[in-house]
Amino acid sequence: MALHIVSHPLIQHKLGLMRDVRLSTKSFRELANEVSALLTYEATSDFELEPTEVPGWDHKAIEVQQLRGKKVTVVPILRAGLGMLDGVVDLIPAAKISVVGLYRDETTLEPVAYFEKLASDLAQRTALVIDPMLATGGTMIATLDMLKAKGCKEIRVLVLVAAPEGVAKVTAAHPDVAIYTAALDERLNDDGYIVPGLGDAGDRIFGTR
Ligand code: URA
């Protein structure tokens, strides 16, 4: 499906601040959540509303629009995905949270799940998968494979920064999954970091750099 580069000025301003290596952990963490909330706003813009009747201020029945039938699960990929979670859940407070952790097997180099605690009704929920950096795409593809194998039918990916290499791989493996990113950067370097990127997003969120 589509790649959405969300170029709203607020997002671009906040992402620009995050690229500055001098930024404190506190500010990086706050901005990661703010950008994530703005990405959520964009990634949910086609959610269907249902008319429903409520008593208005004068107790007369009025029709309002609600997202009543929409069920969402937010899927943070450990550990850096946790740095986007508050921003997403601020906008979708009823969402269930399905946490996924993967490591790379040293011999096969394939991602292997070491942790998964998923919402029980995945088939009824739209999954918003969150990870700040879409780099090689390996972890993201493994996560999408796993969610689909567990019955998930509608998935959207939210990342702060994407590399063209990662977008191409994820799109080829999962053409039905839309990707929302605040930036499509130049490339991956030889160490697998996105350039210009943000550095190690997990370290910057958790203050471990
Ligand atoms: N993961 C990160 O945290 N940063 C990158 O640039 C690539 C992967």
pLDDT at 66 over 70: yes
Q: Whole-prediction pTM value?
A: 0.96
- When mean pLDDT is compared across 55-64, 108-117, 150-159, the lowest value belongs to 108-117
Query: For residue 14, is pLDDT > 90?
Result: yes
Full 3-state SS string of 129-194? EECCEECCCHHHHHHHHHHHHCCCCEEEEEEEEECHHHHHHHHHHCCCCEEEEEEECCEECCCCCE
Which residue owns the Cα nearest ligand 1 atom 4?
A: 200
Residues 151-190: pLDDT tens digits?
Answer: 999 999 999 999 999 999 999 999 999 999 999 999 999 9
What's the 133 CA to ligand 1 centre distance in angstroms?
A: 5
Q: What CATH number is given to the structural domain containing 72?
A: 3.40.50.2020
The mean pLDDT of 107-114, rounded to a whole number, is: 88
Q: Going by CA atoms, what residue is nearest to atom 3 of ligand 1?
A: 200
Is residue 143 a part of any domain in this protein?
Answer: yes
Q: Using the mean position of ligand 1's atoms as its centre, give its distance from the Cα of residue 201 in Å.
A: 6
- pLDDT grade, residue 1 (50/70/90)? low
Q: Is residue 191 part of a domain?
A: yes
Residue pLDDT, tens place only, 30-50: 999 999 999 999 999 999 999
- Residue 69, pLDDT above cutoff 90: no
- Residue 60 within a domain: no
Looking only at the bridges linking them, the beta strands covering 111-117 and 126-130 are unpaired
For 172, residues 6+ apart whose C-beta sits below 8 A from its C-beta are none
In a domain, 177, yes or no: yes
pLDDT category at 70 given cuts 50, 70, 90 is confident
Catalytic residue list: 104, 108, 200, 203
SS3 96: strand
- For ligand 1, is residue 133 a contact (CB within 6 Å)? yes
209 falls in which pLDDT band (50, 70, 90)? Answer: confident
> Is the beta carbon of 200 within 6 A of some atom in ligand 1?
yes
Residue 26 lies in a domain: yes
Per-residue confidence band for 140, with pLDDT thresholds at 50, 70 and 90? very high
pLDDT at 68 (0 to 100): 78
Q: What is the pLDDT of residue 108?
A: 84
105-113 contacts, C-beta under 8 A, 24 or more apart: 110/138, 110/142, 111/138, 111/139, 111/141, 111/142, 113/142, 113/146
- Number of structural domains (the chain) is 1
| HSE (side-chain half, CA atoms, 13 Å) at 195 | 7
Report pLDDT for 106. 81
Please check whether residue 58 lies inside any domain of the structure: no
| 132 vs 161: CA distance, rounded Å | 6
The mean per-residue pLDDT over the stretch 95-122 comes to 92
Q: Does residue 57 form part of some domain?
A: no
For residue 137, what pLDDT is reported? Answer: 96
Tens of pLDDT, residue by residue over 71-107, are 999 999 999 999 999 999 999 999 999 999 999 888 8
Q: What atom in ligand 1 is closest to the CA of residue 195?
A: 6
Q: Is residue 10 part of a domain?
A: yes
**C-alpha span between 77 and 146 (Å, rounded):** 12
Range of the domain at 19: 3-47+65-206
